[in-house]
Amino acid sequence: MSDLKQYPQALSIAGSDSGGGAGMQADLKTIQERHVFGATVLVAITAQNTIGVQDALPLPETIIDAQFKSLAADLAIKACKTGMLADVTRVRAVVRNLKKYDFGPLTVDPVMVAKGGAPLLSEDAVAVVRDELLPLATLATPNLPEAEKLTGLTIDDEAAMKQAGIALQGLGVKNVIIKGGHLSADQESNDFVLLENGESFWLTSKRVDTIRTHGTGDTLSACITAELAKGANIADAIRTGKDFVEAAIADGIIVGHGHGPLNHWALEARRHEF
């Protein structure tokens, strides 16, 4: 009898961050920490560090299609997520493939702008994300500026976050997290969750006073994706995601000279005290 182990498999569809803190690298580190096997469809490459994005190259549609095809032919992916999708052509390529293959519940992190201000999605692609990608999503995880662009609302307090959640469900997303990381005046960093069954709740945590927040959104959505691949229900997956990212921000590490990356070991380390 074989004693080989089998791990659930999850997929990140995203851009590469050469600095290792956000994008596909943050996704893979997070998925690995959750004891899930991570696969990738690379959509764009960025030359990036903690200071900013120096260059970006969207990949040809043919290689995006080929990556999806390769995975569908061989792996047994149980949940997937999207991150940086660059432009209209890449968003449409991803939508086309997600309609073709079943990779389980889809989490859409509608990444638009990097922490340092560099655009990661072209302006004209926002409507394509809203109209073509969001209706495929089991979960969407916009931050406040992204939720504003997708809904047309101004979101500057917790009441407006609730309104945005309802508006996003109106666009066809089943479950929504409106991330509060950008409500900068607040002492807390609270996220509003609205589920398909109408249930809603807040994810609460103290705001950590740090500039080392590169890849927070990627880390949250990747952790949720990993938990969904294990078969967790959506509310439990979301709560685990918040615990994971809270620890990863609070127990910081020193890398680079700007918006440093998170500590993806933190939650596990708290349990085992390495």
Ligand X SMILES: Nc1ncnc2c1ncn2[C@@H]1O[C@H](COP(=O)(O)OP(=O)(O)OP(=O)(O)O)[C@@H](O)[C@H]1O
Ligand Y SMILES: Cc1ncc(COP(=O)(O)O)c(N)n1
Is residue 165 a contact residue for ligand Y (CB under 6 A)? no
Is residue 174 a contact residue for ligand X (CB under 6 A)? no
Q: Which of 38, 83, 142, 241 binds ligand Y (CB under 6 A)?
A: 83
What does 179 interact with, of ligand X, ligand Y, none (CB < 5 to 8 A by kind)? ligand X
- Residue whose entry in the numeric block shows the structure tokens 């990097």: 114
71 versus 228: smaller Cβ distance to ligand X: 228
Q: 161 near 153, Cβ under 8 Å? A: no
107 versus 143: smaller Cβ distance to ligand X: 143
Query: Residues 214 to 253: which contact ligand X by CB under 6 A?
Result: 215-218, 220, 242, 245, 249
Say which DSSP state 106 is in. Answer: E
Is residue 64 a contact residue for ligand Y (CB under 6 A)? no
Beta 53-58 vs 37-48: how paired, if at all? Answer: antiparallel
Residue nearest to ligand Y as judged by C-beta position: 23
Q: 30 near 20, Cβ under 8 Å? A: no
Q: Which of 8, 19, 20, 181 binds ligand X (CB under 6 A)?
A: 181
Is residue 114 a contact residue for ligand Y (CB under 6 A)? yes
Other Cβ atoms less than 10 A from the Cβ of 178: the count is 27
Closest CA to 103 of 137, 59, 60: 137
CA distances from 146 to 9, 19, 73 (A): 28, 23, 34
Supply 210's token pair.
């740090």
Residue 258 CB, nearest approach to ligand X (Å): 12
Phi, psi of 174 (to 5 degrees): -75, -55
90 versus 259: smaller Cβ distance to ligand X: 259
Q: Which of 22, 139, 144, 160 binds ligand Y (CB under 6 A)?
A: 22
Is residue 20 a contact residue for ligand Y (CB under 6 A)? no
Give the C-alpha separation, 200 to 88, whole Å: 32
Q: 207 near 218, Cβ under 8 Å? A: no
- Residues near ligand X (CB under 6 A) are 22, 115, 143, 179-182, 189, 191, 205, 207-208, 210, 213, 215-218, 220, 242, 245, 249
> Residue numbers of the site for ligand Y (CB under 6 A)?
14-17, 22-23, 46, 48, 83-84, 111, 114-115, 120, 214-215, 218
